[in-house]
A and B are shown apart, each in its own frame.
Chain A
Amino acid sequence: MKLFYSPGACSLACHILLHEAGAKHDAVPVALKDGAQFKPDFLAINPKSKVPALARDDGSVLTEMPAISYWIAATYPQAGLMPKDAEGVTRALEWLNWMSGTVHNGGFTRIARAERFVGDPAHAAAAQEKAKADTAKYIDQMEERMQGRQYALGADYSFADPMLYVLCRWAPRAGKSLDALPALAAFNARMEARPAVQATLKAEGLT
């Protein structure tokens, strides 16, 4: 099994889950800054030109962070990443979809690539400012939802947590410091105390 990733990107969430599951894998970095994701070698793996992509042992490739996260949880039940009932699974997907669709792509991506959304560079600064304000609001919502919770679903760790951790790492890009967000700061510390998280950060060269 091969995970195609970029250090610190949302692929980090899937990478952490592979470590949590104790799944044997090779982690293959894709140099997004050099445009490696648009080159034929990578397009043959993921025509969408995105990380993460997981090439499984049967040769099939799975894409999309929420789907890969779900698959790892479903495939390695002993790791305890999959909630036990439909309600829990749904809640984990609810978190992941919001984090991926709204916070990441509807927020952080607009901060990073404001000009792509407005076309005209003259308008990029205003668009980026709005993107930052929107994203900061999403982070406040994360803080609110984490009140009194150890993990995204409450007391139990699940396949939704690593992405929440990735977003905590990105918060400063939206002008938000975890110092002012006690619930997220506690969650972040809890995550960084996990051996699987430490091993993954090391593997991605982030420590």
Chain B
Amino acid sequence: MRPDSTTGLARSQRVPSPLVLWGSTGTTSTIAHMVLVEAGADFEARFIGLKAGDNRRPEFLAINPKGEVPALVVDGAVITETPAICQYIAETHPDSGLLPATYPQRAQCLAWLAWASYRQAASWIPAMLPVRATREPAAHDAVRACSRRRVAKALDFLDSALADGRYYLMGNAATLPDFYVAMQLRWARRIDVPIGDRAGALLDRMLARPAVARVLAAEGLA
């Protein structure tokens, strides 16, 4: 597992930092990466190549038996699943403001994270990687087409949720799901699914955040 040569992130640190993020550039691990930078966390990012199959190698399976990124190593324990990693970072960096203050709002915040996360599995991933839905190459165009329709439907819902003029999903401050949705909006553009004006404005706001810009540059995605 080689660290990705396109980034020079924190790998040169001599003293191992307490948090290690295992990721692959331009995947959902990018969301966890943004949240770590936004929170001002002390961490080291290590990138593996999914196309090269690094995630199926025994060294990585020893870290995450699911063979997926992101995985966050905390004092030797491994946390997986993007929403859980994001929640952990936010709870352990309470000054970051990445979580709303009250429980009902936190649950709402988690509802957005869960929504984004299962839409990612059911719509974005097959739209970008139809082989995950079926191994029959002849069916891949059809998989792409219906997955794109589901992405479009998800984006309609997103735009209607922003209809009251709020700047971010939970109101006027960016919280965890805004980072997830920002990446999904970028991916939607890549697969030619139009995004609504309000969602577009949310994406622009997120892209203007120094932490987001820094991570996109570090992962070679800017």
Contacts and interface: CB of A to CB of B under 8 A. Distances in A.
B157 A47 contact: yes
B88 A48 contact: no
Interface in A63-114: 63-68, 70-71, 74-75, 86-87, 89-91, 93-94, 96-98, 100-102, 104-106, 109-110
A130 B140 CA distance: 14
A105 B119 CA distance: 8
Given A66-B83, A97-B84, A98-B80, 5 more contacts: A48-B157, A86-B92, A98-B66, A119-B145, A141-B65
Nearest to A99: B81
B143 interface: yes
Contacts of B110: 64, 66-67, 70, 93
B143 A117 contact: yes
A60 interface: yes
B134 interface: yes
Contacts, number: 139
Given A71-B103, A90-B87, A130-B134, A63 B139 contact: no
A104 B119 CA distance: 12
A28 interface: no
Interface of B: 65-66, 74, 77, 79-85, 87-88, 91-92, 103-104, 106-108, 110-115, 117-118, 120-122, 125-126, 133-136, 138-139, 142-143, 145-147, 157, 160
A127 B132 CA distance: 9
B81 A93 contact: yes
A118 B120 contact: no
Determine which residue in A63, A74, A93 has the highest number of CB atoms from chain B within 10 A of its CB, and name it. Answer: A93
A109 B123 CA distance: 12
**7 nearest A-B residue pairs (beta carbon):** A119-B142, A67-B111, A123-B139, A71-B107, A94-B84, A64-B111, A64-B114
A67 B84 contact: no
B142 A90 contact: no
Contacts of A104: 118
A89 B91 contact: yes
A150 B79 CA distance: 20
A126 B139 contact: yes
Contacts of B103: 71, 74-75
Contacts of B85: 90
Given A71-B103, A94-B80, A126-B135, A144 B121 contact: no
